[in-house]
Chains A and B, each alone.
Chain A
Amino acid sequence: MVDTIDTLVEREYAFGFHSDIDTEIAPKGLNEDTVRLISAKKNEPEWMLEWRLGALRHFLTLTEPTWPRVSYPPIDYQDMHYWAAPKPKGPSPTSLDEVDPEIRETFDKLGISLDEQKRLSGVAVDAIIDSVSVATTFKATLAEAGVIFCSFSEAVQDHPELVQKYLGSVVGPRDNYFAALNSAVFSDGSFCFVPAGVRCPMELSTYFRINAENTGQFERTLIVAEEGASVSYLEGCTAPMRDENQLHAAVVELVALDDSSIKYSTVQNWYPGDKNGKGGIYNFVTKRGRAGNRAKISWTQVETGSAITWKYPSVILQGDDSVGEFYSVAVTTNHQQADTGTKMIHIGRNSRSTIVSKGVSAGVAQNSYRGLVKVLRSAEGARNHTQCDSLLMGPDCGAHTFPYVEVRNDTAQIEHEASTTKIGEDQLFYCRQRGLSEEDATNMIVNGFCREVFDELPMEYAVEAQALMRLTLEGAVG
């Protein structure tokens, strides 16, 4: 078993290359000048700048939260770049063909083709390197259906009324420490608007890539589904291997108006650091959605990367009969730390939520589920079922479960179940007796353990997620 764990810690991060792209970078430091510079670079209207400055001023009054069960040396927020962008070679590309070949190649290496013709799956991609969106595919097709899918910067320019209406409506600029930071310095991200009654004709996807050094990435995603609309969205992320930790503090806001549905899937594979815990991304993310009457918000996440993950994709179940779901697989190996879970805030009558969390821990990693289920007095007939399972692979890792349940309505039915076990020796033995290698058997068992969550992913990503799991756990038989 020790051997196999050694194999595990020696695994290579497959996406750790660094691309040689000319980069334009803002000076280090977090202050009003930085914020003004970012806003000016993006040619933002005055209201956007004021919004950022308000967030910055509030951020400066806050102290960093210490309640997550993670530990890391103090972050020097002044010793960091807050904006980096691939330097345009000449005028900005007017079509995908004009995208810098280096960037194209970067995404090709990641398996994300920016070429619409080659893309058979019918998935529209917004590709973001460091702070800037470099390409969005299938825009025209989407526009025909009335769907707006573009970078956040473009949205500020082209659809200011929508941005102004919804930005900060779910995660306010003062929401928490990292959300305030993001609100002040966010650089780009994806914007998606699906008008009333429209079922988005294809999967939408954003691919995030950190490339530059010493740079924080602060993207902001806003998805609005009007009445009766529906959309499925997926984000993926990778970063080069570097010895320094890099901060990624994103905010995702989902607005699901009455009768709409938003499915948001994440395959998070930021660089996790090396086997000694050196380097890796600090992934401190705020994700939240608000669901109107009969609306449904479903979060699915497969978290395999990052040195530290701190995120709680949540749903405010404001409308009657609204539905919130959270399906999560979090895998930590080596020195990775994850403190992740969800909040389901039941406000509407007959609102329902489901939480399925699967944590896998190996090496000396620490993996915590932290969740809140809150039923307000108005939430007549609210229902929640939470299933929270942890799998331990090795004697030196940790798996923790910190649920909070607060119930203020007696017609609510809340059930929370959790279990923590080591990977079943009898299961392993059974598989091996049938001829599977120890590694295949482990993979099979871990995949089975996570099956419920993978099933929630869009088909092709489910395959990708399983491949990623296999890679992450390579050799982690225990």
Chain B
Amino acid sequence: MLSIQNLTASVDDNEILRGIDLDIAPGEVHAIMGPNGSGKSTLSNVLAGREGYEVSGKALFDGADLLSMEPEERAAAGLFLAFQYPVEIPGVGNMYFLRTAVNAVRAGRGEPELSATEFLAEAKEKMAALDMDPAFLSRSVNAGFSGGEKKRNEVLQMSLLQPRLAILDETDSGLDIDALRVVAEGIEALRDGERSMLLITHYPRLLEYVRPDTVHVLQAGRIVREGGPELAHELEESGYGERPVDDTSAPRVSEPESGPDDSDARPQARSLL
């Protein structure tokens, strides 16, 4: 379904991804783990089509050249990114936003638009599963949501948009244990043998709920280890840092100075609204 070959990405001559190879077959769930600054968020941003990166290499999505597509074309093709930091959009109603998105993606799949009533019925059902208050729909997109509410909203969108490949960028971060369980169940519920997932996480705890088929360790812009779910446990015990992983392919490079995670390495986009 997704085939990535020698993918690199840099911002202002700072190379963040240094040649990623990754294949995800239909129905597979992969996890990418790695320390702060390893390039995890950059990978998800590049796959979703955020501007501002210099990208080379290949990424094929069902055989189509993902990197040449606009963000909305990728979405219509069935790629979904759950943002690490979902964006607040004051003034745009959540309901309106969701329905516009769902119908745009449906149109891309050649399916008829959902009427307001049909959509509402579906949304309410999905919200109930995620333990979300329907009043959510009448608020502005993510505006004033708590961290947990934002993450639930991401999973709700995913369940409504029914993507073929979902990339979940640190969806577990900032959640307490109860919220994590609800979100994880929401994700697990979308696992149907057809849909593929790429879970990006710093901590292994999400992987206890959503068990991946394969775990990749990303370090300094390269995948340095691969293994089964047991690798996540191993990392939990020994951490990322000291292990002399495949040292020929993983030269130590200084991590970007900034931030608790590599999302700070993305191009600066100023918020006006």
Where the two chains meet, the residues of A that have a C-beta atom closer than 8 Å to any C-beta of B are: 383, 413, 415
A415 — which chain B residues lie within 8 A by C-beta? 270
Question: B224-273: which residues lie under 8 A (CB-CB) from chain A?
Answer: 270, 272
CB of A389 to closest CB in B, whole Å = 21
Query: Whole-angstrom distance from the CB of B221 to the nearest CB of chain A?
Result: 27
What are 4 pairs between A and B in contact, CB < 8 Å? A383-B270, A413-B270, A413-B272, A415-B270
Give me the interface of B with A, judged by CB distance under 8 Å.
Answer: 270, 272
- CB-CB under 8 A from B272, the residues of chain A are 413
Chain B residue at minimal CB-CB distance from A413 = B270
State the CA gap A413–B270 with chains docked (Å).
8
Q: How many whole Å from A253's CB to the nearest CB in chain B?
A: 33
CA of A415 to CA of B270 in the docked complex: distance in angstroms?
10
Q: Which residue of B lies closest to A415 (CB)?
A: B270
* Distance (whole angstroms) from the CB of A123 to the closest CB of chain B: 31
Nearest chain A CB to B12's CB is how many angstroms away?
12
Q: How far is the CB of B271 from chain A (nearest CB, A)?
A: 9
Distance between Cα atoms of A383 and B270 in the complex (Å) = 10
Q: In the assembly, what is the distance between CA of A402 and CA of B272, in Å?
A: 22
A152 to chain B minimum Cβ distance, whole angstroms, is 41
**Chain A contacts for B270, CB-based, 8 A:** 383, 413, 415
Which residues of B are found within 8 Å of A413, using beta-carbon distances? 270, 272
- Output the least CB separation between A386 and chain B (Å): 14
The CA-CA distance from A383 to B267 in the complex, in Å, is 14
Nearest-neighbor residue (CB-CB) of B270 within chain A: A413
Tell me how far the C-beta of A417 lies from the nearest C-beta in chain B, rounded to whole angstroms: 13
Residues of B within 8 A of A383 (CB): 270
Distance of A383 Cα from B272 Cα, bound (Å): 12
* Bound Cα distance A413, B272 (Å): 8
Complex CA distance for A50 and B270, rounded to whole angstroms: 51
**Cα distance A415–B272 in the bound complex, in angstroms:** 8
Q: Which residue of B lies closest to A385 (CB)?
A: B270
4 residue pairs, one from A and one from B, having the closest CB atoms: A413-B270, A413-B272, A415-B270, A383-B270
Tell me the complex Cα distance, A413–B269, Å.
10
Closest residue of chain A to B272, judged by CB?
A413
How far is it, in angstroms, between the C-alpha of A81 and the C-alpha of B270 when the chains are bound?
Answer: 53
Q: In whole Å, how far is B51's beta carbon from the nearest beta carbon of chain A? A: 14
Q: What's the minimum C-beta distance from B234 to chain A, rounded to whole angstroms?
A: 44
A296 CB → nearest B CB, Å? 17
> Which chain A residue shows the least CB distance to B269?
A413
A239 to B116, CA, bound (A): 77
Closest CB in chain B relative to A387 CB, distance in Å: 15
Closest to A383 in B: B270
